[in-house]
């Protein structure tokens, strides 16, 4: 492109290319600064969904302000041209760093994880989920500054519902595989995988078809490799918990990682020569993905009907005519009845005294007996008078409440669920991502091109 974009930005070289667009290195002719410009392909700009996602990314970035987030500068819409101008990060993304140099040292990985978690904390506080946390979207600045999180192309607001969830299969959280929407805890799951790969040079779930990869996320956990210290592994394992409620918040991770950093080595280990060993996820009482921390509604796969035990419990709690009232209200109802019965006995005793002593009753004061004098022995008991008391059949004292746990886990989602394919072909033996940034989502460096955003 020889002509400056919008008469201001002169393109110099291509940084990355993807199916939807291209990222260029360019010079701002007004300020003289170097910038990165993401330009949608003309055919993508004509697609309402693609164009809408591009505009959403620009809007999300404009709401965030943190040194670890690439700052947007300009949005250009001119005919069939849609372009987003951003700060240029001179450096290399973590995925390429692992391929070209090898794993990070444990201390370096802990520092990187702490910086990444801090960035995600800011994003989550703004009510936004990144949705694609992976090494290819983490920039390591050449000047040694804090890491930068890039590519908000699939970011979404937490309150957004009814939209398809996109992501990279190698880094997608188990609840998303089960059909739920992306949440902040899904980003935390991505942090755990980033730390694992930074230390080993491999993603533990990569290899085979998309269906194989997704199934591993739900059924398996990696076994701790020898090169990962136990202090750091305990944090990684927390992040990789199957249920979102078992993972820490992103806000808690920086302090956790910095606390163990002094115990970690500055010497990097070797990349794993074989695929990581996986073990079955532990079976717990919470076998379903119905954690209280999960905001989205669970989508039950068609192959399994939703359990009705929860509906049964709710019906009992909501039914005010339940045959099992609590004991406290019953005591309160019996108190006034008891007082009334005592008063009635006192009145009857007084009338009997006057009749037996021969005093005549004064007209209009006490009525003549109707021929059947009510004896105190025939006075109704409290139980007979209390119309609100429960039936004689009492509930069992040790009755077990119906279980609210589903009888089985939801089945795996079929197909790719709208996720970007970043898992390689079926012959992939499980190495670290062999495809370079730019082949799945635009905004990352391509092989043979200068690094940058």
Positions marked active-site:
132
What is the spatial distance between Cα 435 and Cα 274, in angstroms, rounded to a whole number? 18
Residue 351: count of CB within 10 angstroms of its CB = 15
**CA distance linking residue 124 with residue 134, whole number of Å:** 17
Give a three-class secondary structure readout of the chain: CCCCECCCEEEEEEEEECCCEEEEEEEECCCCCEEEEEEECHHHHCCHHHHHHHHHHHHHHHHCCCCCECCEEEEEEECCEEEEEEECCCEEEHHHHHHHCCCCCHHHHHHHHHHHHHHHHHHHHCCEECCCCCHHHEEEECCCCCCEECCCCCCEECCCCCCCCCCCHHHCCHHHHCCCCCCHHHHHHHHHHHHHHHHHCCCCCCCCCHHHHHHHHHHEEECCCCCCCHHHHHHHHHHCCCCHHHCCCHHHHHHHHHHHHHHCCCCCCCCCCCCCCEEECCCCCCCCCCCCCCCCCCCCCCCCCCCCHHHHHHHHHHCCCCCCCCHHHHHHHHHHHHHHHHHHHHHHHHHHHHHHCCCCCCCCCCCCCCCCCCCHHHCCCHHHHCCCCCCCCCCCCCCCCCCCCCCCCCCCCCCCCCCCCCCCCCCCCCCCCCCCCCCCCCCCCCCCCCCCC
List Cβ neighbours of 420 (8 Å cut-off, separation of 6 or more). Answer: 132, 154, 166, 167, 168, 169, 440, 441
């Amino acid at each position: 492109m020889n002509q400056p974009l919008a008469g201001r930005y002169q393109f110099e070289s291509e940084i990355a290319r993807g199916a939807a667009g291209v990222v260029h290195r360019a010079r701002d002719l007004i300020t003289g600064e170097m910038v990165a410009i993401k330009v949608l392909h003309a055919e993508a700009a004509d697609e309402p969904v693609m164009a809408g996602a591009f505009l959403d990314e620009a809007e999300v970035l404009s709401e965030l302000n943190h040194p670890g987030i690439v700052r947007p500068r300009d949005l250009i819409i001119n005919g069939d041209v849609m372009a987003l101008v951003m700060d240029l990060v001179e450096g290399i993304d973590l995925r390429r760093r692992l391929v070209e140099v090898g794993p990070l040292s444990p201390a370096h990985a802990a520092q990187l994880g702490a910086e990444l978690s801090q960035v995600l904390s800011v994003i989550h506080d703004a009510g936004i989920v990144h949705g694609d946390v992976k090494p290819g979207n983490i920039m390591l600045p050449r000047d040694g500054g804090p890491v930068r999180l890039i590519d908000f192309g699939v970011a979404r607001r937490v309150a957004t519902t009814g939209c398809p969830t996109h992501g990279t299969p190698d880094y997608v959280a188990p609840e998303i595989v089960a059909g739920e929407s992306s949440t902040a805890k899904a980003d935390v799951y991505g942090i755990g995988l980033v730390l694992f790969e930074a230390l080993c040079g491999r993603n533990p779930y990569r290899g085979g078809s998309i269906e194989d990869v997704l199934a591993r996320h739900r059924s398996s956990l990696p076994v701790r490799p020898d090169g990962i210290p136990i202090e750091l592994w305990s944090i990684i394992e927390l992040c990789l918990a199957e249920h979102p409620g078992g993972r820490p918040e992103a806000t808690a991770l920086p302090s956790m990682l910095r606390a163990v950093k002094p115990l970690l080595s500055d010497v990097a280990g070797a990349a794993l020569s074989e695929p990581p060993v996986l073990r079955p996820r532990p079976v717990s009482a919470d076998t379903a993905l119905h954690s209280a921390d999960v905001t989205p509604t669970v989508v039950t796969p068609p192959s399994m009907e939703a359990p009705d035990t929860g509906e049964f419990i709710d019906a009992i709690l909501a039914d005010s005519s339940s045959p099992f009232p609590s004991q406290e209200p019953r005591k309160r109802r019996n108190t006034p009845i008891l007082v009334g019965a005592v008063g009635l006995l006192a009145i009857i005793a007084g009338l009997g005294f006057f009749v037996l002593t021969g005093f005549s009753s004064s007209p209009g004061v006490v009525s003549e007996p109707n021929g059947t004098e009510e004896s105190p022995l025939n006075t109704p008991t409290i139980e007979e008078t209390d119309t609100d008391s429960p039936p004689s059949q009492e509930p069992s004292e040790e009755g077990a409440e119906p279980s609210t746990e589903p009888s089985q886990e939801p089945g795996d989602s079929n197909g790719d669920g709208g996720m970007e394919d970043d898992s390689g072909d079926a012959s992939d033996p499980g190495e670290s991502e062999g495809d370079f940034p730019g082949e799945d989502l635009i905004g990352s460096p391509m092989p043979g091109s200068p690094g940058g955003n």
